[in-house]
Amino acid sequence: MILPPDHRNFKIRDKLALARNLFEKTADHIKSNELISNLLSDVIKREQVSRKLMRALGVNELCRECDQEEGGSCCGAGIENRYDAILLFSNLLAHVHLPESRFNGKSCYFLGPTGCVLKIRHTLCVNFLCHKIEDELSIEELVRLQTVLGEEIDSTFLLYEAVKKFIKNYG
C-alpha cells in the first residue's frame, strides 16, 4: 500500500482518515512484525520517561500556566499539520484514541484537557523548550531533560522509518 506522494500536505482530518484506513488494512500484519513491536514498546517507554521527568521538573505546570493563564501556548492551532499519516498510524498502533475533533479551537488538534493525547510525537513537539522553561531550569536539569527527550526522538525516528518501510512494502 503506497501512501499518496502528497499525503503530508493533506488537511489533518484527511491525514487521520488515511491513518485509520492504513490501520484497518494492515494492523494485524504489522502487529506481528517483531522489529516494529520492539520499536513501538521502546518509544512508549521513552515517552513515559520523558513525561515523568517533565512533571518532576515542573515543566508541565509551566506549560499549563502559559496556556491557561497567559493566553499562549506552543501547542497552538496548526502544529498538528506537522504530523503525517505515518506518525498518526503509529499512534493507533500504540492504542491511542485519535480525536474526532479539536478540543480547543486555539490549540493543536491533539491537545486535550490534560495535555497531548499522542504517545508518539513529532520531533518539534518533543524537543521544543521555550525561554521560560530554559530560564526556570538549571543547566543540569536542562541537560538531563534534553538527554531524555533526545532518546525519545531517536527511538521515534527508528519506529517511523520501520513503519514507513512496512507500509511501502505492504501493497
Q: Could you tell me the residue ranges of all domains in the chain?
A: 9-170
* Helix intervals (H) in 1-138: 12-31, 34-57, 59-69, 85-93, 123-127, 131-136
**Residue in 56, 44, 23, 68 with CA at minimum distance from that of residue 167:** 23
> How far is 161 from 171, CA to CA, in rounded Å?
17
Residues 6+ apart with CB under 8 A from 121: 47, 87, 152, 156
**Residue in 24, 29, 25, 4 with CA at minimum distance from that of residue 15:** 4
Render each residue's pLDDT in the chain as its tens digit; 171 residues.
578 888 888 999 999 999 999 999 998 899 899 999 999 999 999 999 999 999 999 988 887 777 777 766 688 888 899 999 999 999 999 999 999 988 877 888 998 887 889 999 999 999 888 888 899 999 999 999 999 999 999 999 999 999 999 998 886
> How far is 23 from 169, CA to CA, in rounded Å?
15
Whether the Cβ atoms of residue 160 and residue 39 lie closer than 8 Å to each other: no
Each residue of 129-167: b (16+ CB within 10 Å) or e?
beeebeebbeeebeeebeebbebbbebbebbbebbbebb
**pLDDT given at position 132:** 87
Give CA 73 to chain center in angstroms: 16
pTM: 0.92
User: How many CB atoms lie under 10 A from the CB of residue 62?
Assistant: 19
> How far is 88 from 86, CA to CA, in rounded Å?
5
> How far is 36 from 45, CA to CA, in rounded Å?
14
